[in-house]
């Protein structure tokens, strides 16, 4: 236990000896220099020691959880757009492994170009359409060890070795292993509607998201003036992409990750976003 590395040996010895005596009036002059009932005092000190251990354990778990969420969010941003998040020049060629017709050039090097925003590749949203390539998703890598995932990212199929630094590569692998969710549990594939509670989502959106996106979701236009796209537009057109960004944030801009909230909260926000104007 890092917060209680070496308990005071005299206290431990006192506690052990205290447990051995009977319930008659004993005192602990040799320990504290004053007359005090040994059984009662030892019990108090035992409780105090237990409290220290418990508090240390809680603090350690809390710090571990913070690091866990930070690593997942970094990996999620890299999955979204690794070269923008890293601030490196984008690739100029089309990824050799990309066989779809939906993306060309640098965009084809982004993970969702092949594996999808639902993480299922041709098992999910890319089973048909312009993005269909016959490439599997990453759902089968959930809870896999990080080393094999990193090895896959560096292999001849992915070719990220030398493009993504080692620490970032580990964060991306951590997202694959620990950060992805089964979006089919929360989004109806036919209707594209989220299963969340819009009223609960409104409470979060209007107190956090609206500061940048506006109360009606139209403060930021993600497309052109002639063909605008707002929060409501993208939430209805591609709820899988929207849910990923709600959870992980947006590369390069000040859209924060909401991983400190629960997945149910994320889905509630998505459900509310789908009620906002699309034009």
pLDDT at 64 over 80: no
- Greatest Cα pair distance, the chain, in angstroms, is 90
Mean of all residue pLDDT scores within the chain? 85
Of 47-56, 104-113, 188-197, 221-230, the poorest mean pLDDT is in 47-56
* Percentage of the chain exceeding pLDDT 70: 77
Give the C-alpha distances (Å, rounded to integers) separating 30 from 8, 20, 43. 16, 16, 17
Tell me the per-residue pLDDT of 116-160, one tens digit each, with 9 for 90 and over: 999 999 999 988 888 888 899 999 999 999 999 999 999 999 999
Choice between 45 and 95, residue whose per-residue pLDDT is larger: 95
Query: What's the half-sphere exposure (Cβ side, CA atoms, 13 Å) at 196?
Result: 28
Model confidence pLDDT, tens digit, residues 10-36: 444 544 454 444 444 444 444 444 444
Per-residue DSSP letters for 96-152?
TT---SS--GGGGGSTHHHH-TTS-BTTTGGGSSTT--S-B-SGGGTT--HHHHHHH
CATH topology of domain 185-279: Cytochrome Bc1 Complex; Chain D, domain 2 (1.10.760)
What are the structural domain ranges in the chain?
9-62, 185-279
d(CA 65, CA 80): 23
Answer for the pair 244, 80: CB distance below 8 angstroms, yes or no. Answer: yes
Tokens of 242: 């929207």
Write down the pLDDT at residue 13.
52
User: Distance between CA atoms of 63 and 156, rounded to whole angstroms?
Assistant: 37
């Amino acid at each position: 236990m890092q917060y209680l590395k070496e308990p005071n040996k005299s206290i431990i010895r006192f506690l052990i000896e205290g447990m051995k005596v009977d319930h008659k009036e004993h005192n602990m002059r040799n320990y504290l220099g004053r007359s005090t009932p040994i059984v009662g005092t030892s019990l108090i000190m035992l409780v105090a020691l237990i409290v220290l251990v418990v508090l240390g354990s809680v603090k350690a778990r809390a710090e571990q959880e913070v690091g866990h969420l930070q690593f997942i969010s970094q990996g999620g941003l890299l999955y979204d757009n690794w070269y923008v998040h890293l601030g490196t020049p984008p690739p100029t060629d089309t990824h050799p492994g990309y066989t779809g017709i939906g993306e060309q050039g640098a965009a084809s090097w982004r993970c969702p170009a092949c594996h999808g925003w639902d993480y299922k590749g041709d098992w999910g949203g890319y089973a048909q359409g312009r993005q269909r390539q016959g490439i599997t998703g990453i759902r089968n890598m959930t809870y896999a060890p990080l080393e094999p995932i990193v090895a896959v990212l560096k292999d001849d199929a992915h070719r990220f070795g030398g493009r993504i630094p080692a620490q970032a590569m580990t964060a991306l692998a951590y997202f694959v292993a620990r950060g992805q969710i089964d979006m089919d549990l929360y989004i109806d594939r036919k209707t594209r509607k989220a299963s969340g509670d819009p009223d609960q989502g409104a409470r979060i959106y209007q107190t956090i998201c609206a500061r940048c996106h506006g109360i009606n979701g139209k403060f930021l236009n993600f497309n052109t003036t002639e063909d605008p796209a707002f929060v409501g537009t993208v939430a209805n057109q591609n709820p899988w992409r929207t849910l990923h960004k709600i959870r992980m944030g947006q590369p390069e801009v000040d859209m924060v990750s909401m991983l400190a909230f629960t997945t149910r909260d994320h889905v509630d926000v998505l459900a509310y976003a789908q009620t906002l104007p699309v034009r």
